Amino acid sequence: MKLYPLLVVSIFVLCAASYAQEVRPGSMPFTVLWDTGVHASSPLTPGDFGNADRWEVVTPDAVAYHFRGDAVAANDRVAFVARGGSSAIELYTLASGLPRLRAQLMPVASPDPGPVTAASVVENTQDLVKLAIKFGAEESCTLHVELGIGQPHVRTQASGTATSLRIDAPCRFALMPDFFADDIVLDAQSIPVDRTEQPSENFFIHLLDNGNAMLMTVWDNRDQDIFVNFSGTGASRTLQSSEIAYGQEGSVWIAALEDPGIWHTRDIAREDLGNELPLAWQPPFKAVWRVDWRRTSGLTDSWEMITQNPDGSFAKPELFEDLPEDWAGQNWWSDKGGRWRWNTVLGRYEYPCWFDKEGRAFLQPMKALFNWTTNPEGSFHPLPEESLWVGPALVYSVERTADTPLDKFTLTDVVRATLGVGPCQYILDVEGQQTRFQGAPTCATRDVLNEIYEKGEQVARKDEVSKALEDVIAFITLIRERIDAYGAFGKEMGDYLAQQKLARPELADFLAQLEVANGGIAAAIEHRREGLKSIAYAKELADKFRQTVAGYEGPDALDRCKAITKEWVGIGDNQDELVAECRVAVKLLRQQAVMEGVTDPRTAEVVKEIRARTQQILRSPVSYEGARH
């Protein structure tokens, strides 16, 4: 079982007389509320926080309280400030001991609500502070903001005219994590428009402060829209803010995570391809760290970093699954040792991102793949141009491990802490992430049966022979049915895109690009059609084996056995590669829909539909899809 951050702490007993003197922002996990006594004309500075002993602590459980100055609520991780006359609520991180302004949170309403005019206490205990913060002169726009004990996030809800929350946190990079395919990475320097609509899938991350802070927004309704605003030009261009719609009685949480090196970026040049690149970075804590590589096509490839064991071997973390390291089709490490690995589509390759025994981080962007099919001795073939990784590679923590400290938060920890474990499981679709496997792979069946017949033990081991025949048919059936599902998806998606071209001719170019991406499924199936045999044919081979080989002890028994197992392996090789190729095509379609639509808000409805459909088909992968490399 995985361990999660410590959410409940021991409660110290403080007498009322000493409480106001001892408590300071960031000094303890309890939630504390202050009245600064005066209205500051600009955001609070570290010096202002340093003089917090001049502020008045609002007595716990005091609800009917009138603020004379600004309201400040804090625990040991974050603080939020409702400053009279400001157009935003200001969110600070406190973990480093030096308060840092990370974001400004403001309601989006029509007409513009104006600045903060009042704050009232809804709840004030050592476990939770909740304020109702009024914007404007009228009683029509209010944000309800709450902060819990030991948490790195605030929860916001809106009433009145507010429809969305604007999070102003300038940065170059932002992420929309994806657990079914590859992340969406927004690079402000690559996006020419000043405002874009993005698919609403519950998370959005601003990467801040040159790798030292992350601002993660979580919301509880996928029907809520998200808009992203950009400003500036050239190297100074930034993603200025994001806007999340509240929806019907929805909530938006904003988590501010702070740690030196909590994320990292490394630009990859063409001359770096194929080379080991030591990073000038070490992770601040142990976790599952993800690398987002930028393709020359502008899309992203997401990989989890592996870790070197003391004996020199490597271990790969699995998101949401506890799988044995020799589990068929998912974790096969090549017999070449080291970081060499095998999976469908890629074949054998050196895993491109890892931590060594000393915890140092390395990248090795791929340049070529090992051509083990045509020349097992060591031939390589170059990657296609559009698949090369050139540009910024981003690293961030996506999930915890058993070694992750209890006081550290990863992406999935934030989702659990905000939405709750049950809704988190649903939104992350943990059930849909589980990989399916049944029977035995064709190559494994070949090895078992050939070994039995080489030793002439087919009669003595007849039960093993019978089970092997059942297992290989079960395996072939599972993979073939999955391929058929991908084929049906491709046809249905093609029909949908064709319908959209008729209904929305103004999106013809956009839809044509998606038709090309979707066509990758049919192209992969057609390419392997000759070797793609039916389930009925595989069963005929099993029946033939039972009738002519199973109890046969003649001198050519091994040859008969090998003739049929060779055919099964041929079926399996084609199926295994094809099911992975289909998944790759769907992943590219899923991501390309977003990236093609970044510059055109008219595409939002189509993008949303494609994201929903692709997630459905990507659920419950079979082992040889190589869902996580």
Is the Cβ–Cβ distance between 381 and 369 less than 8 Å? yes
Same domain, 25 and 82: yes
pLDDT value of position 379: 60
pLDDT value of position 338: 82
Q: Which two tokens stand for residue 541?
A: 């081979």
SS3 of 64, please?
coil
231 domain-assigned: no
pLDDT value of position 85: 94
From 135, 162, 189, give the residue that closes a domain.
162
pLDDT exceeds cutoff 80 at 322 = no
pLDDT exceeds cutoff 70 at 19 = no
Concatenating the DSSP letter of every residue in 340-386 gives: EEEETTTEEEE-SEEE-TT--EEE----EEE-TTT-TTT-EEEPPGG
pLDDT exceeds cutoff 60 at 69 = yes
Q: Which two tokens stand for residue 580?
A: 């992975």
pLDDT value of position 329: 43
Q: Would you give the DSSP letter of residue 471?
A: H
pLDDT value of position 330: 42
**Cα–Cα distance between 109 and 163 in angstroms, integer?**
6
Same domain, 392 and 461: no
134 domain-assigned: yes
Q: Which two tokens stand for residue 403?
A: 């070694």
pLDDT value of position 354: 96
Is the Cβ–Cβ distance between 300 and 184 less than 8 Å? yes
Other residues' Cβ atoms within 10 Å of the Cβ of residue 111: 10
pLDDT value of position 198: 84
Which strand (E) or helix (H) includes residue 606? helix 604-618
pLDDT value of position 6: 42
Same domain, 351 and 451: no
Among residues 479, 450, 483, the alpha carbon closest in space to that of 464 is found at: 450
Residue partners of 457: CB distance under 8 A and separation at least 6: none
Among residues 446, 441, 451, 442, the alpha carbon closest in space to that of 328 is found at: 441
Is the Cβ–Cβ distance between 133 and 89 less than 8 Å? yes
Which range has the top average pLDDT, 299-313, 485-499, 524-538? 485-499
8 domain-assigned: no
Same domain, 365 and 304: yes
435 domain-assigned: no
**Cα–Cα distance between 31 and 180 in angstroms, integer?**
37
184 domain-assigned: no
Same domain, 385 and 465: no
How much of the chain exceeds pLDDT 70, in percent?
A: 90
457-516 pLDDT per residue, tens: 999 999 999 999 999 999 999 999 999 999 999 999 999 999 999 999 999 999 999 999
Is the Cβ–Cβ distance between 442 and 477 less than 8 Å? no
Is the Cβ–Cβ distance between 141 and 134 less than 8 Å? yes
Residue partners of 259: CB distance under 8 A and separation at least 6: 95, 212, 213, 284, 285, 408
pLDDT value of position 126: 93
Q: Which own/partner pairs from 542-547 qualify as long-range (CB within 8 Å, at least 24 positions apart)? A: 542/469, 542/472, 542/473, 545/469, 546/469
Q: Please, is 530 exposed, middle or buried when counting C-beta atoms within 10 Å of its C-beta (0-12, 13-18, 19+)? A: exposed
111-125 pLDDT per residue, tens: 889 999 999 999 999
pLDDT value of position 382: 76
263-295 pLDDT per residue, tens: 999 999 999 999 999 999 999 999 999 999 999
Print the domain residue range for 273.
263-398
Same domain, 488 and 610: yes
Same domain, 294 and 388: yes
Same domain, 381 and 449: no
Kindly report the average pLDDT of the chain as a whole number. Answer: 89
Is the Cβ–Cβ distance between 306 and 314 less than 8 Å? yes
Q: What is the mean pLDDT of residues 401-420?
A: 93
Q: Which two tokens stand for residue 201?
A: 């899938």
From 338, 369, 398, give the residue that closes a domain.
398
Same domain, 454 and 393: no
Q: Which two tokens stand for residue 548?
A: 């002519």
- Tokens 């990475």 locate to 185
Q: How many domains does the chain have?
A: 3
405 domain-assigned: no
**Cα–Cα distance between 128 and 120 in angstroms, integer?**
14
Beta strand pairing status for 184-187 and 32-35? unpaired
Question: Residue 9 — very low, low, confident or very high, per pLDDT cuts 50/70/90?
Answer: very low
580 domain-assigned: yes
pLDDT exceeds cutoff 80 at 426 = no
pLDDT exceeds cutoff 90 at 418 = yes
pLDDT value of position 220: 84
Same domain, 460 and 383: no
pLDDT value of position 22: 58
Other residues' Cβ atoms within 10 Å of the Cβ of residue 57: 19
Same domain, 463 and 343: no
Q: What is the mean pLDDT of residues 540-565?
A: 95
Same domain, 510 and 611: yes
Please state whether the peptide bond connecting residue 99 to the residue before it is cis, i.e. omega within 30 degrees of 0: no
Is the Cβ–Cβ distance between 77 and 109 less than 8 Å? no
489 domain-assigned: yes
From 123, 139, 162, give the residue that closes a domain.
162
pLDDT exceeds cutoff 70 at 18 = no
77-95 pLDDT per residue, tens: 999 999 999 999 999 999 8
SS3 of 612, please?
helix
**Cα–Cα distance between 514 and 561 in angstroms, integer?**
46
pLDDT value of position 336: 54
pLDDT exceeds cutoff 90 at 417 = yes
Q: Which two tokens stand for residue 490?
A: 């491709």
